[in-house]
């Protein structure tokens, strides 16, 4: 099994999974908070339509975790508000 | 493929795959693009090809023979240099250019890196499908509450179940394959809450009798659900979700005929994930800006108007599948074939399909469309659904606009979702109203069909990707901003 690095911690995934699938597989359903109400958010639509699942991938902000295929060594930072 | 294509097909779901295969068989050169990493769209969603041994999901599928046959046909044409297959390419705009079309896409195969690509052809076929239609309820933005399609996508595409104890709710036969898929993977599906009454189907016996394949499919899901002891409750709905950092329970109520919760019937069920869906909303982002006419479908959605050969009102532009109304994969395949047959006829291709199979295709599409219509009428959005909203319920997830603010804007005279957007910011965020649009529309102008706001870009595009366009961005790209800087793109 390969690993991505989420907030500095290794996270295993199966080749072919998206970043969101890798996160959900380990039981995480929330990984950021909203700008106004600071509500927890994670995957909702699973197909790139709702933008709830935003993460930073290899330094690029505002990526939809449900669309980005996980790749070994990829760094993912969670917790961003959606305004930055 | 070195020569330019005769046809660009956007969307490689059942409709787009069938369309591309038919057009190729008729001798055309085709460019087929999809934002996903595999052929198949939503119905045949698979992990990318190289990962299928590690992530087996074939057991969750139906009609795989047809999928494999289409994959093989496409692969053969690709080898022969007639098919330009572009997976991982998201089309963000399609524009008229001279006598043809230019499709602007971002290549995201190396995401998060992206680069711009333009594909041009005299004819364009858009088969972009649909996404889950949502109705808000208190707690629907808690983590662990997903769209039913989102749960299915995680399962079919990534082999991942979103929870271990799940409730599904909403309306429509699509809830059944999701329940069956989860149950087959060992998830405890504690309830499937179907808002409609099965009796509604009895009002449309004709289409039901003429589509025995649908019976068989339904019976298959029912057998799986019985085997796994999954209860399906008609005339019930999830009226609230509760929890802190994630959902821990839902409240379920029986519904009166108008869809309002019957007092005293509410019960609480503990869960760790919830899947909800109220049918689907067609994905018209690329079609609407091209100016093609829309028409009302029986389910309250505006869908693309097509003639008997899937031609839109814009010359050279064709569409097939859920963009013409939600009707399932078998219909999407047939419409894709029909659309491609029209492309062949209109381009005076030499191998136009013979008249007889074409007539059979037309009648199959008519029969399946009639079924889709009956299905929409049997699974309506309950008229009184908004009675389960509190003033604090978030309606627009992106801008966190509540039902109370929307009601206040209505009281101030707003009478459609565009005015609500201006007054409250509902629909102005990242998703551009894709999630809240149908609900806001119902709260304001439910007599009319829901017509999504025109969005000039179908996906956020970075300025960097636009900058590497060899010939400078098209007119609309000036406002097609970077996703980092301004999410209120057009
Ligand atoms: C999340 C989800 C899951 C579903 N799962 C099932 C299921 O398990 N069983 C079932 O019976 N029905 C399912 N459906 C219903 C399904 O939409 C149809 O039955 C069927 O897949 C429709 O075929 P289609 O070809 O019209 O569209 P789709 O299958 O939706 O195919 C459309 C394709 O277009 C691509 N696309 C869209 N916009 C762009 C763009 N701008 N650029 C590039 N590519 C684009 C998409 O990636 C997709 O692959 C699901 C629907 C959704 C939304
Ligand atoms: S979960 Fe909706 S965009 Fe990723």
Minimal C-alpha gap between B219 and chain A (Å): 27
| B251-282 confidence digits (pLDDT tens) | 999 999 999 999 999 999 999 999 999 999 99
pLDDT band at B300 (very low <50, low <70, confident <90, very high): confident
Judging contacts by C-beta atoms under 8 Å, the chain A residues touching residue B459 are 48
Residue B121 has pLDDT above 90, yes or no: yes
Specify the pLDDT at position B229. 92
Q: What is the pLDDT of residues B160-198, one digit of tens each?
A: 999 999 999 999 999 999 999 999 999 999 999 999 988
Region B414-423: what's the mean pLDDT?
84
Instruction: Count CA within 13 A, CB hemisphere, residue B60.
Output: 31
Banded pLDDT at B219 (limits 50, 70, 90) = confident
Which structure tokens are listed for A29? 């359903």
Asked if the Cβ–Cβ distance from B431 to A60 is below 8 Å, we say: no
Probe site for chain B from A15, A28, A30, A45 (most B CB atoms < 10 A): A45
Helix (H, G, I), strand (E, B) or coil at B340: helix
Q: Residue B477: pLDDT above 50?
A: no
Measure the CA–CA gap between B284 and B207, rounded to whole angstroms. Answer: 27
Q: Which of B441, B433, B438 is nearest to B399 (CA)?
A: B433
Interface pTM (ipTM) of the complex? 0.96
Local confidence band at B470 (pLDDT 50, 70, 90 cut-offs): low
- With cut-offs at 50, 70 and 90, classify the pLDDT of residue B485: very low
Shortest CA distance to B125 belongs to which of B24, B231, B253, B257? B24
CA dist., res. B96 & res. B276, Å (int): 38
Write the CB contacts of B357 (distance below 8 Å, at least 6 apart in sequence).
none
Distance CA B208, CA B217 (A): 12
Nearest CA in chain B to A35: B399
Please check the confidence at residue A84 and state whether its pLDDT lies above 90: no
Mean pLDDT of chain A: 93
CA–CA dist B55, B220 (Å, integer): 24
CB pairs under 8 A between A and B: 141
Closest approach of A6 to chain B, Cα-based (Å): 15
Beta strands in B26-114 (DSSP E): 30-34, 83-87, 89-97, 100-107
Residue B204 Cα, gap to closest chain A Cα (Å)? 32
pLDDT at res. A82:
56
B20-63 tens-digit pLDDT: 999 999 999 999 999 999 999 999 999 999 999 999 999 999 89
HSE on the CB side for B172, CA within 13 Å?
Answer: 27
Count how many residues are written for chain B: 490
**Alpha-carbon dihedral of residues B459, B461, B465, B470, nearest 10 degrees?**
70
Q: Indicate the angle between helix axes B148-158 and B175-184, nearest 10 degrees.
A: 40
Judge whether residue B295 has pLDDT over 60. yes
Whose tokens are 């029912």? That residue is B222
User: What is the DSSP secondary structure assignment for residue B301, as one 8-state letter?
Assistant: B
Strands (E), B35-164: 83-87, 89-97, 100-107, 115-121, 123-126, 130-132, 145-147
CA–centroid distance, B49 to ligand 1, in Å, is 18
At B214, the pLDDT band (50, 70, 90 cuts) reads confident
Q: What is the CA radius of gyration of chain B?
A: 22
Give the tens place of pLDDT for each residue, A34-57: 988 999 999 999 999 999 999 999
Structure tokens at A43: 């995957």
Question: Which residues are A56's β-sheet partners?
Answer: A77
Q: Is residue B426 predicted with pLDDT exceeding 50?
A: yes
A12 has a chain B CB within 8 A of its CB: no
Output the ligand 1 site: residues, CB below 6 A: A 47; B 10-16, 33-36, 41-43, 90-91, 127-132, 149, 152-153, 174, 177, 280, 283, 286, 321-322, 328-329, 332, 458
Best of A23, A31, A35, A49 to substitute, by most chain B Cβ atoms within 10 angstroms, is A49
What separation in angstroms does the CA of B460 have from each of B51, B356, B365?
Answer: 28, 45, 35
Burial tier of B62 (Cβ tally within 10 Å: 0-12, 13-18, 19+): middle
**A9-13/B83-87 β-pairing:** unpaired
Q: What separation, in Å, do the N-terminal and C-terminal C-alpha atoms of chain A show? A: 33
Angle at B438 between CA B435 and CA B444, to 5 degrees: 130
Q: How far is the CA of B411 from the centre of ligand 1 (A)?
A: 37
Using the structure block, give the residue that is written with the tokens 């005929």: B257
Question: Mean pLDDT in chain B?
Answer: 90
Give the ligand at the shortest distance from the Cα of B153: 1
Q: Cα separation of B412 and B423, whole Å?
A: 10
Looking at residue B46, its pLDDT comes to 95
Dist. CA A66–CA A45, nearest whole Å: 9
User: How far B347 CA lies from chain A's nearest CA (Å)?
Assistant: 34
Q: What is the DSSP letter of B311?
A: B
Least confident of B291-295, B323-327, B428-432: B428-432
Residue of A nearest to B437 (CA): A50
- CA–CA separation, B26 vs B344, rounded Å? 7
Cα separation, B431 vs B396, in Å, equals 9
Half-sphere exposure of B340 (CA within 13 A, CB side): 32
Residues B136, B389 contacting (CB under 8 angstroms):
yes
**Residue with tokens 């339509």, as numbered in its chain:** A49
């Amino acid at each position: 099994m390969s690993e991505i690095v989420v907030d500095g911690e290794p996270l295993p995934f199966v080749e072919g999974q998206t970043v969101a699938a890798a996160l959900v597989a380990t039981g995480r359903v929330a990984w950021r908070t909203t700008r106004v109400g600071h509500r927890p958010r994670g995957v909702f639509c699973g197909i790139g339509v709702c933008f709830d699942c935003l993460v930073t991938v290899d330094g690029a902000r505002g990526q939809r975790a449900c669309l980005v295929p996980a790749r070994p060594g990829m760094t993912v930072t969670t917790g961003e508000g959606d305004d930055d | 493929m070195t020569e330019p294509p005769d046809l660009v097909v956007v969307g490689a779901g059942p409709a787009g795959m069938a369309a591309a295969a038919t057009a190729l068989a008729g001798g055309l050169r085709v460019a087929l693009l999809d934002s996903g990493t595999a052929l198949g769209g939503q119905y045949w969603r698979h992990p990318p090809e190289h990962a299928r041994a590690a992530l087996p999901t074939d057991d969750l599928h139906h009609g795989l023979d047809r999928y494999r046959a289409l994959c093989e046909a496409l692969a053969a044409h690709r080898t022969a240099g007639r098919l330009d297959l572009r997976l991982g390419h998201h089309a963000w705009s399609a524009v008229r250019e001279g006598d043809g079309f230019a499709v602007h896409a971002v290549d995201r195969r190396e995401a998060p890196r992206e680069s711009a690509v333009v594909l041009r052809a005299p004819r364009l076929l858009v088969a972009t499908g649909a996404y889950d239609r949502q109705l808000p309820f208190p707690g629907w933005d808690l983590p662990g509450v997903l769209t039913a399609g989102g749960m299915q996508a995680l399962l079919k595409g990534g082999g991942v179940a979103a929870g271990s104890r799940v409730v599904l709710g909403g309306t429509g036969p699509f809830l059944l394959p999701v329940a069956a898929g989860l149950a087959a993977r060992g998830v405890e599906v504690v309830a499937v809450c179907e808002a409609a009454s099965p009796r509604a189907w009895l009002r449309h016996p004709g289409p039901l009798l003429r589509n025995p394949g649908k019976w068989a499919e339904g019976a298959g899901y029912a057998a799986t659900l019985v085997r796994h002891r999954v209860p399906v409750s008609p005339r019930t709905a999830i009226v609230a979700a509760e929890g802190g950092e994630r959902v821990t329970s839902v409240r379920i109520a029986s519904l009166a005929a108008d869809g309002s919760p019957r007092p005293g019937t509410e019960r609480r069920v503990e869960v760790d994930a919830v899947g909800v869906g109220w049918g689907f909303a067609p994905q018209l982002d690329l079609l609407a800006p091209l100016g093609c006419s829309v028409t009302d479908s029986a389910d309250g959605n505006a869908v693309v108007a097509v003639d008997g050969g899937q031609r839109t009102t814009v010359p050279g532009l064709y569409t097939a599948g859920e963009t013409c109304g939600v009707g399932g994969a078998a219909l999407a395949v047939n419409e894709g074939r029909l659309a491609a047959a029209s492309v062949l006829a209109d381009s005076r291709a030499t191998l136009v399909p013979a008249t007889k199979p074409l007539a059979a295709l037309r009648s199959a599409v008519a029969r399946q469309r009639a079924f889709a219509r009956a299905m929409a009428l049997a699974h309506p959005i309950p008229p009184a659904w908004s009675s389960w909203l509190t003033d604090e319920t978030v309606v627009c997830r992106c801008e966190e606009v509540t039902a109370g603010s929307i009601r206040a804007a209505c009281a101030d005279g707003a009478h459609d979702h565009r005015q609500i957007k201006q007054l409250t910011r509902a629909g102005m965020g990242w998703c551009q109203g894709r999630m809240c649009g149908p609900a806001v529309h119902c709260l304001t102008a439910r007599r009319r069909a829901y017509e999504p706001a025109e969005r000039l870009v179908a996906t956020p595009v970075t300025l960097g990707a636009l900058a590497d366009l060899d010939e400078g961005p098209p007119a609309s790209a000036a406002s097609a901003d970077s996703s980092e800087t301004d999410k209120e793109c057009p």
